[in-house]
Amino acid sequence: MKDSKKKTLLAIAAILFVFQGFFNVQIIHPQWTRDYSLGKQSLASGLGADQAFLELLGFREFLAGMLWVRGDTFFETGNYDAVLPIIRLVTILDPKNIDVYSTGMWHIGYNFTDEEQRSDRRYLPTALALGKEGCANNSETYELYYEEAWLWYHKIDDDYPQAVKWLSIANEHPDITPARKNLMRNALERDGKPEEALQLLYKLKDQAQQDYNQDKNYEARNDLETLINNIDTTVVRLVQRGNIAEKNGWYASGDYDTKNPFDVGFSAKVTVTEPKVIVVEGTWNVLPVGTRVRVILRDANLPHSVPGSMDWDAMATSVQLDPPKNETYMQDQLFVRNRRFNRRIDMSKDPTMYPFSGDKYLIEFYYNPRSAPPHIQDKFGWNGEGMTDSNFLRLDARPDNERVVYTTLEISRDQLLQQGAYAGKVTVLKTKNYHDTAIPTDSLDDVIMVPSLRNSGATSASTSSGAAPGGKAAANAVINSLGGGN
Amino acid sequence: MNAIWAIASSTVGEAIRRKVLLVILLIALLLLSIIPALGVLSARSEMSAMISTIFFVIRFTSALIAIILTIYMIPNEIERRTIYTILCKPVQRWQFLLGKYFGAVLALALMMGIMTALSLVMFWFLKHPDASKMAEVAKQPILYLVEMSLLAAIAIFFSTFVAPLVNFFISTGLWLVGTVLNPLYDSFATNPQTAPIMKTMAKLITSILPNFANYDVKNPILHPGVVIQNEASYYLKTVGYGFMYIAILLILGIVVFDRREV
Amino acid sequence: MAAAIETKKLTKTYRSRQLGKINVVNELDLHVEEGEIFGFLGPNGAGKTTTIKMLLGIIYPTHGEGYVLGREIGDMDVHRVISYLPERPYYYEHMTGFELLKFYDSLFGNHDPDKCQRLLERVNLAGDASKTINQYSKGMQQRVGLAQSLLNDPKLLFLDEPTGGLDPIAHREIRDLILSFRDEGRTVFISSHELSEVELICDRVAIIHKGEIARQGRLTELLKGGRIEITLQGIDEGLARKLATGGTLHNLSDGYMLDMPEEEDVNAVVDTVRSAKGSIVSMVPRKKRLEDLFVETVRAATPGAAPKLAAEGGV
């Protein structure tokens, strides 16, 4: 080959070389990253050399599958701690594996528990963050949005705007099943927006009607009937609970179930019976079963804490395999029976979950009527309009002047652990109104009468004043019919 | 052109009879045929797991074949003195090199075609996906072929001046690095803690080394919900990129080989 | 006659780390006439193959000039009319003999299956045309190699050790083919160290040693200087001595052995002996062999290492 020809060829190669570099970095690469990059974590850390090699060769999904099978055996044996890193790895390797995300969220959110089946809520931010990541990686399907919403709706059971937010994204996806769209109605109601819930039900009903007209199968019919039934129920509740009246300005003059606000008469006493064991007792003057008062024992100075909960959303920034080990956060429910609650909470058997490393602790009591079951909401209303507490009603604990019952008791580490100055001493803490015989359990005078939908609103609530129409006998009948009275 | 074609077709004939390549191909075909049994690894995304494993086997095997086929091609010709019987004919060295290269690409296409065909047949019988899905699945191996052609160009370029064993490590190394260039670059680019000098380095390396990651387009194929804009244009661009790089390597190979004492 | 091959101070220098610069071929002046069979002889490593590769344009001379069929070496056009059979080449073993010829034919841009068939017949492989090369014996492979070298009807053939490693029958077949090439008017350039073969077929030879031409010329001229041994009985010593003036005399138990150059007047000796009533027991011409020439040449070129080189030369 002649030298001149060679030089020409080399010049062409040089030009091509410069151009390919530009072409690759400026033109192809951005499109690849946008469309073909697999997930946000590009190079997984924490993989063994062989696994990393497989991953680099694009064997990620297969590897993820193998790991997940291994994770499954840990599930079966209850070795949950071992599952967590596997979930993390699998989701890094195969960010499109929706099952691993949803199972992982459920597992992290629910399955880490103490000996008495109280879940370790220090993991909740991780569950939420995993869900957020899953949504970002799988935005084409409703599933993980729905799972994220479910965590807010069911597990956190507070901060309902979050549930509404995630559900509304889920509902925009065409692949969501009709039945799952209905959860939005519940979320909206718990968010104190029953009228929006009704509007949604109408919309869903129209759709269900269309679906049913097209294909008259059992499922479509069932769906339609459920929606009609739900609309029925919601309309009756909107009428009876006074929401329609409120909207139209005649609430003041009418007789509605939520009138007048009923004083729940909350009081509580906490006794440290043994180190790390407390007994919580107290009063709640609502006879029908279904009341659960949230009790939290946590570090007094816990960051991101809000009354009766945590700012979970702000904490859910990244998937952390280890919860903050030095923090203590115990949350439990106080079930009310016979207008009293009494619960022994033993935190002595789970030192990793309850490290008690701080000096000061706060015991919080929190009741949000939005979480209440419908038969109680029939009196309290969706937003607690029909509920009050002469001592602990708080309007500042939640945004938008939500009506909640909230109070705290302070306790020190020494008191809880019965050590130092409190060695061998039983500490008793009480709310200011607590009397050991605060409310006579044999008197039903100040027990609310829960109205019954079956009576078409004929029964209204009696209040603590006892001036309600219908009287004591009718109220008793209602309570009995609900199976709540003893 | 006649000479190039004659050399290319003789290269194909030789390649498909090389035992080591046939063994690799056979193992790959066996692996492909047991892939359905691996579906249990991923309960609901069985289809994605299957497709992704198919892609992995095809890609890995093809790379191995591309490298082993190409690194020995020219050294063997010289060692066996076959090259003299060719170069003493009116065949230019560049024609010889191109003929060998195109032969390698054709042999690769043939072997990859067999693997893809088997995968598709199996896929069809096991999953009965609709035709559009089958077409989707067939797209990735086409880009893999471009990827392997680029890899073969690298190997043949180095085979004009280094020994086969050294070439094996160079080509394999470049391929492995090339398959992670994009993720690597992205992790540098998106990490705010990366020093600017490192970012510049990452950019430089990405623009210099052959980028094999570009040919990994399985994401939207595995996950049908992912919507891709201008897919055809991406395919064209990345194929164009491959051809450009191949041209560079072949030109350099021709220039080096032209003065090579054989 | 025009020169088929002409080189002037053709030199190929390699650099080696241990030995520094080595002139594998050093200022070679070759001259090969058209239509002759030219033997290019030399021990292993003398630079034979290197010279051929330079003439074919496969490697490049460090300096000097070379012309093949009147064209400067490296000119690709000349490849249309020359051919080359390397020493023990491997052909694509998956091809049949016929396919192999078709393949090489296509390198010329030709497609002539009939010609391929004819050539196979010519090298006596027509019956094995559909066997693959890996089923061929060495001799068959060499013959198919010769067939491929005839594809372009070459004016000049380079054959590198064409009979190397073959059995005597194969030797003969190849030898006959090569001779037939000359009969067709082709020039044949044979590189070899199998001197007996070369001696049988070559018109002219060049002996190369350490990259340099040691001897070059017509074989008949180079081999001049043979001797004749005459064994005599029944004559007296005086006569014997008289006869031995042109050679040397050895005493035997029952007579004399006279060793004399072949160009001496042997007839005169015979006449003298017969007239003296003596008898001639035997008369053995000791012709000069190429082997002798080769050893002689190599020894002369490297006095110190002569025996070793001769051994290496396979003579």
Cβ neighbours, 10 Å, residue A466: 12
Do residue C53 and residue C168 come from a single domain?
A: yes
Comparing CB atoms, the residue among B10, B13, B261 nearest residue C59 is: B261
- CATH code for the domain of C282: 3.30.70
* Domain ranges, residue C248: 227-286
Mark which residues 422-451 of A lie under 8 Å from B by CB: none
- Cβ-based neighbours of A433, under 8 Å, separated by 6 or more: A267, A391
- On whether both C240 and C254 belong to a single domain, the answer is yes
Q: Name which residue leads in pLDDT, B42 or B96.
A: B96
CB contact under 8 A, B17 and C108: no
* Distance between CA atoms of residues B218 and B48, nearest Å: 10
How is residue A74 written in tokens? 């840990």
pTM over 0.80: no
Does one domain contain both C215 and C266?
Answer: no
- Is ipTM over 0.85? yes
> B19 — contact with chain C (CB < 8 Å)?
no
Mark yes or no for CB contact C92/B2 under 8 Å: no
Q: Is the pLDDT of residue B79 over 70?
A: yes
Cα–Cα distance for residue pair C158/C89, rounded to 1 Å: 14
DSSP string, chain C: --EEEEEEEEEEEEEETTTEEEEEEEEE--EEETT-EEEEE--TTSSHHHHHHHHHTSS--SEEEEEETTEETT-GGGGGSEEEE-SSPPP-TTSBHHHHHHHHHHHTT---HHHHHHHHHHTT-GGGTTSBGGGS-HHHHHHHHHHHHTTT--SEEEEESTTTT--HHHHHHHHHHHHHHHHTT-EEEEEES-HHHHHHH-SEEEEEETTEEEEEEEHHHHT---EEEEEEES--HHHHHHHGGGSEEEEETTEEEEEEETTS-HHHHHHHHHHTT-EEEEEEEEPPPHHHHHHHHHHHH-STTHHHHHHHTT-
In a domain, C121, yes or no: no
What is the nearest CA distance from C196 to chain B, expressed in angstroms?
26
The chains in contact with chain A, meaning 3 or more Cβ pairs closer than 8 Å, are: B
Determine the distance from the C-alpha atom of residue C90 to the mean position of all C-alpha atoms in its chain, rounded to a whole number.
23
- Mean pLDDT estimate for chain C: 86
Tell me whether residues B183 and A68 touch, CB distance under 8 A: no
Q: Could you give the CA distance from residue C7 to residue C5 in angstroms, rounded to a whole number?
A: 7
Summarised one tens digit per residue, pLDDT across range B44-60 is: 566 777 787 788 889 99
A392-427: per-residue pLDDT in tens?
999 999 988 899 999 999 999 999 999 999 998 999
**Least CB-CB distance to A96: which of B48, B179, B208?**
B48
Establish if B258 touches chain C: CB-CB under 8 angstroms.
no
Give yes or no for a contact between B161 and B174, defined as CB atoms under 8 angstroms apart: no
Task: Kindly report, as residue ranges, where domains of CATH 1.25.40.10 are found in chain A.
Answer: 38-170
Q: In this structure, which topology does domain A38-170 adopt according to CATH?
A: 1.25.40
Neighbours of B230 (CB within 10 A): 11
Q: Which A positions 62-81 lie with beta carbon below 8 A of chain B?
A: 62, 64-66, 68-69
Across the range C128-140, mean pLDDT stands at 91
C77 in contact with B at a CB cutoff of 8 Å?
yes
Q: Where are the domains of chain B?
A: 2-258
Task: Let me know: does A432 contact A365? Beta carbons within 8 Å.
Answer: no
Whether A26 has a pLDDT exceeding 70, the answer reads yes
Residues of B in contact with A58 (CB under 8 A): 52, 55-56, 59, 179, 216, 218
pLDDT at B225: 63
- The CATH number of the domain where C177 resides is what? 3.40.50.300
Is C297 inside any structural domain? no
Chain B residue with the nearest C-alpha to that of C145: B85
Residues C217 and C238 in one domain: no
Q: What is the mean pLDDT of residues C260-279?
A: 83
pLDDT-based confidence at residue A438 (cuts at 50, 70, 90): low
Q: Pick from C88, C95, C108: which is nearest to B90 by CB?
A: C108
Task: Please classify residue C223 by burial: count the beta carbons closer than 10 Å to its beta carbon, then call 0-12 exposed, 13-18 middle and 19+ buried.
Answer: middle
The H or E element that residue A79 is part of is none
Distance between CA atoms of residues C263 and C60, nearest Å: 46
A155 in contact with B, Cβ within 8 Å: no
* C-alpha distances in Å from residue C163, one per residue of C93, C145, C159, C168, C194: 20, 12, 9, 9, 8
Domain count, chain C: 2
Chain B residue with the nearest C-alpha to that of A52: B180
- The DSSP element (H or E) to which C71 belongs, if any, is strand C71-72
Residues C231, C218 share a domain: no
C105 located within any domain: no
Contact status of C138 with chain B (Cβ, < 8 Å) = no
CB A10, CB B248: distance < 8 Å: no
Task: Please indicate, yes or no, whether residues C259 and C212 belong to a single structural domain of this protein.
Answer: no
Q: How far is CA A34 from the centre of its chain?
A: 33
Query: Do both C163 and C260 map to the same domain?
Result: no
CA B20/CA B65 separation, integer angstroms = 9
Mutation choice for C interface testing from B84, B95, B260, B261 by most C CBs within 10 A = B84
Section A422-447 average pLDDT:
74
Q: Give the distance from residue B172's alpha carbon to the nearest chain C alpha carbon, in angstroms.
A: 27
Please say if the pLDDT value at position A111 is more than 50: yes
**Mutation site, B18, B88, B91, interface C, largest C CB count within 10 A:** B88
pLDDT tens by residue, B203-229: 888 899 999 989 988 877 876 666 777
Residue in A43, A98, A141 nearest the CB of B187: A43
Whether C168 and C282 share a structural domain: no
Chain B residue with minimal CA distance to C76? B90
* A11 close to B (CB below 8 A): no
Query: Does B262 lie at the interface with C, CB-CB under 8 angstroms?
Result: yes
Residues 6+ apart with CB under 8 A from B61: B24, B25, B27, B28, B31, B115
Cβ separation B82–C59 shorter than 8 A? no
| Confidence (pLDDT) at C7 | 92
* pLDDT tens, residue by residue, B125-157: 877 777 778 888 888 999 999 999 999 999 999
pLDDT at residue A453, as a whole number: 43
A20 shares contact with chain B (CB less than 8 Å): yes
Using CB atoms, list chains with 3+ pairs below 8 Å to chain C: B
